Structure 1
Amino acid sequence: MAATEPDYADVLIIGAGISGIGAAYRIHEKNPRLTYTILERRARIGGTWDLFRYPGIRSDSDIFTLSFPYEPWTRPETVADGADIREYLTATARRYGIDQHIRFDTRVLSADWDSTTDTWNVQAQHDGQARTYRARFVFFGTGYYNYDEPYTPGFPGIENFRGEVVHPQFWPEALDYTRKRVVVIGSGATAISLIPALARRAGHVTMLQRSPTYMLSLARIDPAVQRIRKMLPRSVSHQVVRFRNAMVQVLLFVMFRKAPEFGRRLVRNRTVAALPSGYPVDVHFRPRYNPWDQRMCFVVDDDLFEHISDGRADVVTDHIDHVDGDGIVLRSGARVDADIIVTATGLQLQALGGVTLSIDGTEMKPTERFVYKEYLLEDVPNMAWCIGYTNASWTLRADMTARAVAKLLAYMDSHGYTHAYPHRGPGPMQEKRTWDLEAGYIQRAEHALPRSGTKRPWHVRHNYLLDAIDHRFDRIEESMVFGRAPAVARSDSESGAESVA
């Protein structure tokens, strides 16, 4: 029997979350002649917003900047629940016909670049069966963390615990925590959204943290946003609110970074006002680091503080010594009894969704390559990867990335090029962290992501305003190599690579 021909698309998009749906829209908008296929390992649209299903899952940034600029968010919330975000993504994909291009339950395993044909050969699995795809260009909308293995530190004696141990990344639908004693280990964004939801039904919830995290209260529904939406047509108001909220994020970040002591006092004063008189704020809500050295957590409508005030939740700041059959014993000698332990202990970084990359059969480690303009990899042809901001909504950069890829594809098509890649040239380059936070998941695996230089175009920057300016005046030929595969070269004089400095 003859071998089955690989499925071909001009562009292969991996992942049907925010990044993948956004890339499909922008690429098709600017390049309607190009075909595209989206490979999604899960059974539904949503990516992160389909994976995480723990109680209280919500956006940790405002939904107007997290939503797409071309598809207005119509609900009133500024902070949206995870299920509503997933429904928004599903509706957007359906509205623009993107859902017809998605192949669900398809896990990509490897991608190999063939320089004789200037195509990627992508190996995947669908329902346990091997599938091969071929594409001119591959876009990774896979996010930055490991979907299969969250970070769970080894807690001595955890195997002796007689209750249930749960990680939010794999929350059991059937878990009944009604009137149970629940201990949530961690104080990041997951814990802050999870604890108020648990406290409504649980007997008691304890947030157990090694050290405090910055938490800033945010209204679920912003009156100023509602006034703007009443005054202007929907599409216009969405753009105005999106721009306004993006600028607020930038200004707050700059303020906290430039005036950390003022930021400390601001956060502390608002926390004191939200908690009962005499509450030990400086024990449980005074971090050792400066604001935005780690990502800021948002408490929506003071919900966490309200549950602490009414006694349904409390905070314990201590280190775990060991776990026994009935709960957690702390280094101080105190203990926290529990029926359920939730390990909200963070993520594990992972580049390109764990897909193995190779060029002409030789494996290539993405962590050894520098990032170009925050979306291409050094000397890797026809491949882009979407990585969001650490200090603003993911979609702000994701949409810029999608538009940059669409522009690159249009440029290649108009010039007859079949490959393009950024080239750094000889000589060393000063290096910095790709992500400039002191968060535990970054410190644990700072070499899990591609590398960042300190100067453009090799600098991974976390400043939306400067990136937006650069994007508008971007010179597409800068440090790029363009060329044609031998099989499609028009003549000997046109064959080979053409560098544009």
Structure 2
Amino acid sequence: MSDVLEATAVQTQGEAETFDVLIVGAGISGIGSAYHLKTQCPGKSFAVLEAKESFGGTWHTHRYPGVRSDSDLYTFGYRFKPWVGAPIASGDEILKYLSSVIAENDIDQHIRYGTLIVRCSWSSSERMWTVETRGSTGGQPKTYKCNFLWMCQGYYDHENPFLPQWPGMEDFKGTLVHAQKWDGSVDYAGKKVVVIGSGATAATVIPAMADKAGHVTMLQRSPTYFFCYPNRSELADRLREIGVDEQTVHRCARLDYLHNLKTLDRRSRTEPDVVVEELKALVRLYAGEEFEFAPHFVPRYRPWQQRLAFIPDGDMFVKMREGKVSAVTDKIARFTASGIALESGEHLEADVVVAATGFNLLVMGGIEFEVDGKPVDWSSTPTFRGMMFADVPNLAWVFGYFRAAWTLRVDLLGDLVCRLLQHADAKGASEIRIVVPTDLADEPLTQWIEDDNFNPGYLMRDIDKLPKRLGDRPEWRHSQDYWMEAEDIPSIDLDGPEFVYR
């Protein structure tokens, strides 16, 4: 049998298809992980289980006006696939990029769409995961088995976004829609639109709706920092101009963006007041020199304690300068028939209200897990590097970065998981178990991430549901420091005291 056939072969145990590896999710994490597995471990059989009817994850789910990336595609894209467009890309452009990765690497034959996982059970006697699924659109239940489970399903609930329950919502006679549940039939032409929120989603929706709507009001509880910059890479443009190949352009532009992000992160800690003034200067380039920042654009936190919303070409502030967009900072008292009553006593008239209020975290896709018949409680389970878990064998979880591009960690963990699988094979082992070293047995379990380091509302609301740090050692937490992990993760000792093979 050829190597290609060996890599795609499956066994049948009763009604269960059996693979070496199952990848959960065909979004940007799952597709990237499938590429790494296919290219670095070509002898491994695998399948990608996807609940939706198409690939893309977030980029399939999110359909609101103007949907685009909030990270540059030189770092949000994969290191192995050059990006050739503008750094901030539309949702459709990202889907085309992912589609080309799938097509170029024959990943499509491995994806099982419409497959919703309901339970994953590990058996130490079999050294296998049993994965129970049902058709997400009512299809028949099906069972899969695998030796290794690679969780790439993301971290939020695609079906149930975060929507506060304000008084009087049922009284509103206009259209109320959450951005994550956008209905393309919503008619906002010439109408008064209120967008609730001021994060990346709001900053995307607002300029996209501004020309067609009568007026758009951004209603926020508290101000946010915005980073305005031209949507192009001068370095990439110059390299292309002198004839450099796209792989090299991608690598150089990627390093340039990473250097700039690292510098911004450091300076936000060491000289936050200077960074604030620089961010204001960039806003003025688009909003005008006379733009007033107070009270709507003076946040109460330092830069990078919450993610900076990137505004390509300053488009939201251009619309403000044109008078098509305005900002209101207040709290909602209640909805009325014709709009929103604010705690200040003011009333916002609205025909359409778009809630850009974020999402709900969903640990491991809400799937029920058990190990040898015992349920796994992720909220009390120590995490190793934010990607494996004490006493949960043969499982890796891809959870990316918040203050750098999510996909940077997809590539890092892709290398590590493949190295781990190869290492286990070399040992003749079929089980890889993370254990807490004896000298850490009495260390306390603490919050998954330090809240003074990064504290957006969507994370703080549900942080208790996430796995836990163990003591103060860096290997027993999920670091949000890409630059540290870029050095640490490739050098992890796979025969260290945390790893047990059998």
Identity %: 35
Distance in 1, matches of 2:376 and 2:357, equals 31
1:201 aligns with 2:212: yes
Q: For residue 409 of structure 2, what is the aligned residue in structure 1? A: 397
Distance in 2, matches of 1:340 and 1:110, equals 40
Name the SS for the 1:74 alignment partner: coil
More off after superposition, 270-279 vs 192-201: 270-279
The number of residue pairs the alignment matches comes to 482
Distance in 2, matches of 1:63 and 1:354, equals 29
C-alpha RMSD of the superposition: 1.6
What do residues 383-403 of structure 1 show as CA deviations (whole Å, max 9, x unaligned)?
Answer: 010001111001111110111
Q: For residue 5 of structure 2, what is the aligned residue in structure 1? A: none
1:5 aligns with 2:44: no
Name the SS for the 2:353 alignment partner: strand
Distance in 1, matches of 2:14 and 2:411, equals 36
What amino acid is the match of 2:369? Answer: L
Question: Of 22, 45, 60, which aligns to 1:50?
Answer: 60
Q: For residue 467 of structure 2, what is the aligned residue in structure 1? A: 450
Residue 13 of structure 1 contacts residue 38 of structure 1 at CA under 8 Å; is this kept in 2?
yes
Name the SS for the 1:177 alignment partner: coil
More off after superposition, 200-209 vs 122-131: 122-131
Name the SS for the 1:357 alignment partner: strand
* TM-score w.r.t. length of structure 2: 0.93
Name the SS for the 1:457 alignment partner: helix
Name the SS for the 1:336 alignment partner: strand
Distance in 1, matches of 2:212 and 2:489, equals 48
Q: For residue 441 of structure 1, what is the aligned residue in structure 2? A: 458
Distance in 2, matches of 1:51 and 1:158, equals 25
Q: For residue 66 of structure 1, what is the aligned residue in structure 2? A: 76
What amino acid is the match of 2:114? Answer: D
- Compute the displacement of 1:430 (Å): 5.9
What amino acid is the match of 1:205? Answer: V
- Compute the displacement of 1:86 (Å): 1.1
Name the SS for the 1:283 alignment partner: coil
- Compute the displacement of 1:258 (Å): 1.8
Distance in 2, matches of 1:352 and 1:230, equals 45
Name the SS for the 1:412 alignment partner: helix
Residue 323 of structure 1 contacts residue 329 of structure 1 at CA under 8 Å; is this kept in 2?
yes
Name the SS for the 1:294 alignment partner: coil
Distance in 2, matches of 1:366 and 1:331, equals 39
Q: For residue 340 of structure 1, what is the aligned residue in structure 2? A: 352
Question: Of 29, 39, 58, which aligns to 1:29?
Answer: 39
Residue 76 of structure 2 contacts residue 405 of structure 2 at CA under 8 Å; is this kept in 1?
yes
What amino acid is the match of 2:115? Answer: T
* Gapped regions of structure 2 (runs ≥ 5): 1-11
What do residues 283-342 of structure 1 show as CA deviations (whole Å, max 9, x unaligned)?
Answer: 111101111111111111011011111111110111111110000111111111011111
Change (3 A) 1:404 1:206: same
Q: How does 1:173-192 map to 2 (within 5 A)?
A: 173-192=184-203
Distance in 2, matches of 1:21 and 1:239, equals 20
Question: Of 227, 234, 250, which aligns to 1:216?
Answer: 227
Residue 250 of structure 1 contacts residue 463 of structure 1 at CA under 8 Å; is this kept in 2?
no
What do residues 128-153 of structure 1 show as CA deviations (whole Å, max 9, x unaligned)?
Answer: 21110100000110111111211111
Distance in 2, matches of 1:337 and 1:284, equals 19
- Compute the displacement of 1:91 (Å): 1.2
Q: How does 1:258-273 map to 2 (within 5 A)?
A: 258-273=270-285
Distance in 1, matches of 2:445 and 2:21, equals 33
Distance in 1, matches of 2:104 and 2:201, equals 31
1:414 aligns with 2:434: no
- Compute the displacement of 1:4 (Å): 4.3
Q: How does 1:131-146 map to 2 (within 5 A)?
A: 131-146=142-157
Distance in 2, matches of 1:143 and 1:211, equals 27
Distance in 1, matches of 2:290 and 2:260, equals 32
Residue 433 of structure 2 contacts residue 501 of structure 2 at CA under 8 Å; is this kept in 1?
no
More off after superposition, 227-236 vs 427-436: 427-436
Distance in 1, matches of 2:125 and 2:98, equals 38
Distance in 2, matches of 1:132 and 1:39, equals 11
More off after superposition, 276-285 vs 84-93: 276-285
1:302 aligns with 2:314: yes
Residue 327 of structure 1 contacts residue 335 of structure 1 at CA under 8 Å; is this kept in 2?
yes
Q: For residue 482 of structure 1, what is the aligned residue in structure 2? A: 500
Question: Of 226, 245, 252, which aligns to 2:257?
Answer: 245
* Gapped regions of structure 1 (runs ≥ 5): 485-501
Q: For residue 17 of structure 1, what is the aligned residue in structure 2? A: 27
What do residues 265-284 of structure 1 show as CA deviations (whole Å, max 9, x unaligned)?
Answer: 22223334432454431211
Question: Of 70, 86, 97, which aligns to 2:95?
Answer: 86
Name the SS for the 2:464 alignment partner: coil
Name the SS for the 1:73 alignment partner: coil
Question: Of 95, 108, 112, which aligns to 2:104?
Answer: 95
Question: Of 114, 117, 128, which aligns to 1:119?
Answer: 128
Distance in 2, matches of 1:326 and 1:260, equals 41
What do residues 439-464 of structure 1 show as CA deviations (whole Å, max 9, x unaligned)?
Answer: 11112111121112431211211111
Question: Of 372, 377, 390, which aligns to 2:389?
Answer: 377
Question: Of 236, 257, 262, which aligns to 2:269?
Answer: 257
What amino acid is the match of 1:148? Answer: E
- Compute the displacement of 1:3 (Å): 9.4
What amino acid is the match of 1:445? Answer: D
